[in-house]
Amino acid sequence: MTTLLISHDSSLNHATPAGHPERADRYRAIKAVLEDEQFAMLAREEAPEVEPLAIARVHPMPYVDALRAAVPKSGNARIDADTTLSSGSWEPILRAAGGAVLAVDEVMMGDADNAFVAMRPPGHHAETATAMGFCFLNNAAIAARHAQVHYGAERVAIVDFDVHHGNGSQEIFWSDKTVMYCSTHEMPLYPGTGARTERGEHNNIVNAPLRSGSGGDEFREAMSAVIMPRLDEFKPDLVVVSAGFDAHERDPLASLRLVEADFAWATQQLLEAADRHSQGRLVSVLEGGYDLQGLSQSVAAHVKTLMRG
């Protein structure tokens, strides 16, 4: 079995203001932990810049052009209260999306069994034409559309276990019966979406919100009772994971109490679903996770599970 790690050091160039949780040290922590000898068998590739056409399947080009124009020559340009661009941001934004596309290529062509894209900035809060929540391009959505257009995937499932609801992914696919978006997340919490009653035009949105203070038992119940049955009904041709690790008990931005074993368990459940329906094809893209120890240890558990270790 081959697990592919896709990354690029340009992730370090997306600079955020001092004290911002979505910072370059996140990438450093992940890179360091995945250099451990237990990951020696990982295949590794650098994330390329995404082609404009792949972006345009999700985001209108006037929005993309406006984002590009907002990149400052120095300092930070504020998009909203939480989301900023720096002079070095544009390349990692393109490579985070390009890494997701490359992951789909490698997995759909059978050159890798699954892949993890360790890039920042994250993507799941980015709506069709709105950057927010540290996100600019929706990498998971771009990956899903690429699989459909280039490989004939009739049904793609995006499963999001970030502690924050992926409002962008939900908005993009709200009226699309060919993509199922499933999410566990803390509620109430930013961005305020993700109620169970939000189901999409084709019942293709599956939200399983968790109360503040919920731990592994509640998370596993939500996955087992709500998300996995719907995933089995949908029978996706590809599973895309929005892998946020900010539901970890150490994370400063939320109040769930997951530990590394919970992320490993969820990863295993999704691998088994991919085995049942998608010939094992699974692509995981990094979303949140802001405590460096919790993030790095959770990523290690996630990737080790992807390696069937």
Q: Would you call 125 a catalytic residue per the annotation?
A: yes
The tokens for 249 are 């008990």
Q: Strands of 43-46's sheet, edge to edge?
A: 43-46, 3-7, 114-117, 282-286, 238-243, 156-160, 179-186, 205-210
pLDDT of residue 309: 76
The position carrying tokens 């996706």 is: 236
Which helix (H) or strand (E) element contains residue 4?
strand 3-7
* Neighbouring C-beta atoms of residue 36, cutoff 10 Å: 11
Tokens 């276990």 label which residue? Answer: 161
Say which of 8, 14, 125, 248 is annotated catalytic: 125
Residues 6+ apart with CB under 8 A from 184: 160, 161, 208, 209, 210, 219, 222, 223, 227, 247
Q: Do 77 and 120 form a contact (C-beta atoms < 8 A)?
A: no
**Owner of token pair 């992940």:** 30
The domains of the chain, with CATH numbers, are 3-306 (3.40.800.20)
Q: Within the chain, which residues score under 70 in pLDDT?
A: none
Which residue is associated with the tokens 């892949």? 115
Helix (H) or strand (E) holding 302: helix 292-306
Whole-number pLDDT of residue 65: 98
Per cent of the chain over pLDDT 70 is: 100
Bridge partners of residue 282, in order along the sequence: 114, 239
Q: Which pair of structure tokens corresponds to residue 124?
A: 């799941």
What is the biggest distance separating any 2 CA atoms in the chain, rounded to whole angstroms?
A: 50
**186, 163 contact by CB (below 8 A):** yes
Identify which of 296, 309, 210, 290 has the alpha carbon closest to the alpha carbon of residue 257.
210
Question: pLDDT tens across 242-252, in order?
Answer: 999 999 999 99
Per-residue 3-state assignment (H helix, E strand, C coil) for 13-27: HCCCCCCCCCCHHHH
235: closest CA among 204, 196, 190, 258? Answer: 204
Q: Are residues 98 and 10 in contact, defined by beta-carbon separation less than 8 angstroms? A: no
pLDDT in tens, 147-201: 999 999 999 999 999 999 999 999 999 999 999 999 999 999 999 999 999 999 9
% of the chain beyond a pLDDT of 90: 99
Three-state SS string over 101-139 comes to: HHHHHHHHCCCCCEEEECCCCCCCCCECCECECCECCCH
Within 71-223, residue ranges assigned H as helices are: 90-108, 139-151, 167-173, 216-222
The answer to whether 85 and 71 have CB atoms below 8 angstroms apart is yes
